Amino acid sequence: MYVAVKGGEAAISAAHELLARERRGDLGVPEITPEQIRDQLTLAVNRTMCEGSLYDPELAALAVKQARGDLIEAIFLLRAYRTTLPRLGNAEPVDTAAMRIRRRISATYKDLPGGQLLGPTFDYTHRLLDAAPVSAREASEPVAPASAEEPVPHVTALLDREGLIESNAATIDGAPVGDITRDPVTFPAGRDIRLQALARGDEGFLLALGYSTQRGYGRTHPFAGEIRMGEVEIELVPEELGFAVPLGRLTLTECEMVNQFKGSADAPPQFTRGYGLVFGHSERKAMAMALVDRALRTEELGQEATTPAQDQEFVLAHADNVQATGFVEHLKLPHYVDFQAELALLRQLRAEWQAARADRPVEDTCAEPQAGREAAE
């Protein structure tokens, strides 16, 4: 039980005022604009869109600015705004095979149809701080933006053609897709629900869980079959028209992990899949998601779930950083009455302990009081 937060209006408005000033910083330095954030802090904007579950770079940039760069706060702002939006329809599934590719790498084949396209990546930088990373180069001619002209087949499609990897088709065609923003997640959750929860899950949490599977807490022997980033077209079929109308483009990052085998008496061994798909250019998140997706498939692949990353309830119930921050930070709210109850209980336990000690023979000094009740909330 929490005491409702009220009163202290003057103090609260003063706190808002201070927040606004801190946000603005030194008035001698030009104010940052959402456009600058959108174009120059793109990866912060991408993460905000991804975990905020709303693809809108302008608003995500505004949220990053308003939140002073606190991305979980920015995600919270975007989520709150998202809840006010009316829904107009369900878009058609995006076709990542038709993605206009800006980056595409595979760690499983050196030479492959469509080739390796490095694109804008930190991977080969030396991680040396550079005080003038861009300005010195601004004057020079921009590098021609590399993008593949023709559709680039998925690496897993190549494996699939030979039957070497489990097929996706049976699990996606025609089945109704759940919606975690409309129906509460119940366990065991289907893969559609799990992927939705992972897609908006906290990058740090998924990264740690994915890492834990690599370190032995539920090994899946993953290979980064493919990571691709680029633009896909999003389409809607309005009922009154009956054909698909393009709505615009999204930047997505997709990761397909190829993991060790599943086979049975009826089916020969095959590679298994882990899948990650996120808004914007968010490779780490897509990879972590794919690792955790595969870990969460342990039971459907006929193995026993024994580690944290394989435990659906543990992973899905704790992946959402807006929920997590809400419950952690609510501890700042007044708990005066709760605390008084705990205090009274502690005083009572101590009084009982003192009384028991006074009654006891002198040599018995290691007695303990009865365990108190669990603090419940």
**At its nearest, how many Å lie between another protein and the CB of residue 86?**
6
**Contact in structure between 244 and 219 (CB atoms under 8 Å):** no
Residue 87 or 332: the one with the smaller Cβ distance to another protein is 87
Binds another protein (CB under 8 A): choice among 8, 25, 89, 115: 89
Could you write out the DSSP letters of every residue in 276-314? Answer: EEEESS-HHHHHHHHHHHHHHTTTTTT----SGGG-HHH
Residue 215 near another protein by CB under 8 A: no
Interface with another protein, residue 86, by CB under 8 A: yes
The CB-of-368 to another protein minimum distance in angstroms stands at: 41
The residues, ordered by sequence, that sit 6+ positions from 287 with a Cβ below 8 Å of its Cβ are 210, 224, 227, 255, 257, 276
Considering only CA atoms, which of 162, 135, 159 is closest in space to residue 40? 135
| Span interacting with another protein, options 53-61, 66-74, 81-89, 167-175, rule CB under 8 A | 81-89
> Three-class SS of residue 350?
helix
Which residues are within 8 A (CB) of 360 and not within 5 positions of it... i.e. 6 or more apart? 367
Min separation Cβ 88 and another protein, Å:
6
What letter does residue 371 receive in the DSSP assignment? P
Angle between helices 71-82 and 57-66 (to 10 degrees): 130
Q: Which residues contact 333 (CB under 8 A, 6 or more apart)?
A: 2, 3, 5
- Pick the binder of another protein from 20, 27, 88, 358 (CB under 8 A): 88
Print the binding letters for residues 175-214 with another protein: x by CB under 8 A, - otherwise. Answer: -------x--------------------------------
Helix, strand, coil shares, percent, the chain, to 5: 40, 15, 45
Stretch that binds another protein, among 83-91, 229-237, 266-274, 331-339 (CB under 8 A): 83-91
What x/- string results for residues 32 through 71 when contact with another protein is judged by CB under 8 A?
Answer: ----------------------------------------
Q: Which string of x and - marks every residue 265-304 that binds another protein (by CB under 8 A)?
A: ----------------------------------------
Residue pair 213/309 in contact (Cβ under 8 Å)? The answer is yes
134 touches another protein (CB under 8 A): no
Binding range to another protein, per CB under 8 A, among 7-15, 74-82, 87-95, 192-200: 87-95
Q: Is residue 87 a contact point for another protein (CB under 8 A)?
A: yes
Cα–Cα dist 59/77, whole Å:
9
Choice between 90 and 354, CB closer to another protein: 90
d(CA 18, CA 148): 49
Smallest distance from another protein to CB 2, Å: 24
Name the residues that contact another protein, by CB under 8 A.
86-89, 182
